[in-house]
Amino acid sequence: MGILSEAETTALLLSLRISLVAVSCALPFAVAVAYVIARYRFPGRSLLDGIVHLPLVLPPVVMGYLLLITLGTRAPLGAWLFETFGIRFVFSWTGAALAAAIVTFPFQVRAIRLAMETIDTGIETAAETLGAGPVDRFFSITLPLALPGLIAGAITAFAASLGEFGAIITFVSNIPGETRTLPLAIYTAIQTPGGESAAARLVVLSIGLALAGLILSELAARRVRRFSAP
């Protein structure tokens, strides 16, 4: 018999799957938003920055509720997606991934933005004088130099996604094998008579995963900076 039960293993694997999808799908948008905020000055820039970072200060339950009234099957947008394309986020693991992506989106944007703001714009200007276009400059200069922040933000967001609870349970409920992630499994164990030992195992596992994610984020960023240093 393994350390984890079958249900606990399923919750762990589902958490990893949801976090991977959430971070992967949000990453291109995070890069684009971070670039706009870091490189451009325009009316409403502070408002955009505030909206992007709003999930950090709002209760996760609020984010889950907003998703529910927007993408629920009875909501106008959610009903249209379901009836037109058969897409249903509510009560599904894809909805959990969406909730996790939105809640952890600011982690990626902030790390990438800070990395981009440290880049010497003179390098990009020199490349422009040599005939490099905006797209070429972005992919050959800006993005490679911002890679430490991109990696750190992605790993941090992944670790945070593993621990997301409020938005997921509010939006997609707590369905075994479908939306019951590691935090929801801990909650279920606590609510179950005699589930203290299971809850303790899952708590230790969650702490280990979170700590490993933070350490890996720092090590990866250092390694990339070392190889990209002149």
Taking residues 218-227, report their average pLDDT.
70
CATH architecture of 6-228: Orthogonal Bundle (1.10)
pTM summary value? 0.90
Q: What is the pLDDT of residues 174-215, one digit of tens each?
A: 999 999 999 999 999 999 998 899 999 999 999 998 888 888
**DSSP assignment string, the chain:** --SS-HHHHHHHHHHHHHHHHHHHHHHHHHHHHHHHHHH---TTHHHHHHHHHHHHHS-HHHHHHHHHHHHSTTSHHHHHHHHHH----TTSHHHHHHHHHHHHHHHHHHHHHHHHHTS-HHHHHHHHHTT--HHHHIIIIIHHHTHHHHHHHHHHHHHHHHT--HHHHHHH---TTTT--HHHHHHHHHHSTT-HHHHHHHHHHHHHHHHHHHHHHHHHHHHHHHHH--
Taking residues 98-120, report their average pLDDT.
93
| pLDDT reading at 12 higher than 90 | yes
pLDDT mean across residues, the chain: 90
| Per-domain boundaries in the chain | 6-228
* CA–CA gap between residue 41 and residue 10 (Å, rounded): 47
Taking residues 124-147, report their average pLDDT.
86
Model pLDDT, residue 2: 64
Model pLDDT, residue 226: 67
131 burial level (CB within 10 Å; 0-12, 13-18, 19+): exposed
Taking residues 146-170, report their average pLDDT.
92
Q: What is the pLDDT of residues 40-61, one digit of tens each?
A: 888 999 999 999 999 999 999 9
Taking residues 22-40, report their average pLDDT.
95
| pLDDT reading at 103 higher than 90 | yes
Model pLDDT, residue 220: 73
Sign of the CA dihedral with 30 first, then 33, 37, and 43 last: negative
